[in-house]
Structure 1
Amino acid sequence: MLYPKRTKFRKYRRGRCNKGCKEDGSTELLCFGKYGIKSCEAGRISYQAIEAARRAISRKFRRNSKIWVRVFADIPITSKPAEVRMGKGKGNTKGWIARVLKGQISFEMDCVSLSNAQQAAILAAHKLGGLSIKFFKWS
Structure 2
Amino acid sequence: MALMPKRVKHRKDQRGRIRGNATRGNTVVFGEFGLQSMQPGHVKATTIEACRIAASQYIRASGGKLYIRIFPDKPVTARPLETRMGKGKGEPDHWVAVVKPGTVLFEIAGANKEAARDCFNRVAHKLPVKVRLVERTPGT
Give the TM-score normalised by the residue count of structure 1: 0.91
Once the two structures are superposed, residues 16-47 of structure 1 have per-residue CA deviations (whole angstroms, 9 ceiling, x without a partner) of: 111x2234xx3432111111000011111111
Segments ≥4 residues shifted beyond 4 Å: none
2:96 alignment partner AA: I
2:105 alignment partner AA: S
For 1:86, the equivalent position in structure 2 comes to 85
SS at 1:78's partner residue?
A: strand
Question: In 1, distance between residues paired with 2:102 and 2:120?
Answer: 15
For 2:98, the equivalent position in structure 1 comes to 99
Q: CA deviation at 1:106?
A: 0.4
SS at 1:99's partner residue?
A: strand
User: What is the aligned-residue RMSD (CA, Å)?
Assistant: 1.3
Q: CA deviation at 1:90?
A: 0.9
Give the TM-score normalised by the residue count of structure 2: 0.91
Once the two structures are superposed, residues 77-130 of structure 1 have per-residue CA deviations (whole angstroms, 9 ceiling, x without a partner) of: 11111111222111111101111011110011101121110001101100113x
Count of matched residue pairs: 135
